[in-house]
Amino acid sequence: MRRFATLLGDNNHTHRIIDILKIDVEGSEFETIPDMLRTGTLENVRQLLLEIHNFLGYNLREYYSIYWLLHSYGFVSVAVEEWPSTCTKINEKGEHEIFCFIFTLVNKRFLEL
C-alpha cells in the first residue's frame, strides 16, 4: 500500500491545500489515519470524508477512537451518514445490518479564514 505522504510528494502536492479528500481504505482505518496525522499530511485538507467499515468486528468505541483522534488534530464533524444501499449484510437473526458509515469532517484551521 502506498502512503498518502508519498502520493503527495510524487505529485508535487506536499504543501498544497486540498479542498476535499475522501478516504476509503476498506477496513485499514486504524493504520491509515494515525499515519496520516503523524506525518502531517492532513494539515492542508479542508474537508475530509472518511468511510468506516464495520465488517472486521470492531466495536463502535474503537471506531469513535478514530473520530476523536481526528478531533484532537483539529477536525470537527459536520455529518455522519449510514450507507445502507451498498453496505448491508444479513446477520444471524436474518436482519439487515449496516456496516458502513461516512464521517464528514472539516479542518477548524480553515474555518477561521
**At which residue does the C-alpha cell 476523536 appear?**
68
Range of the domain at 57: 4-111
pLDDT in tens, 28-86: 777 888 888 888 889 999 999 988 776 556 666 777 788 888 999 999 988 877 655 55
pLDDT at 85: 56
Category of 106 on φ-ψ map: left (φ > 0), alpha (ψ -120 to 50) or beta:
beta
Q: How many domains does the chain have?
A: 1
> If you average pLDDT over residues 102-111, what whole number do you get?
89
Predicted model pTM: 0.74
Tell me the average pLDDT across 92-96. 72
Q: Map grid coordinates 469532517 to a residue.
A: 105
Domain with 45 in it: what CATH number? Answer: 3.40.50.150
- pLDDT on residue 30: 79
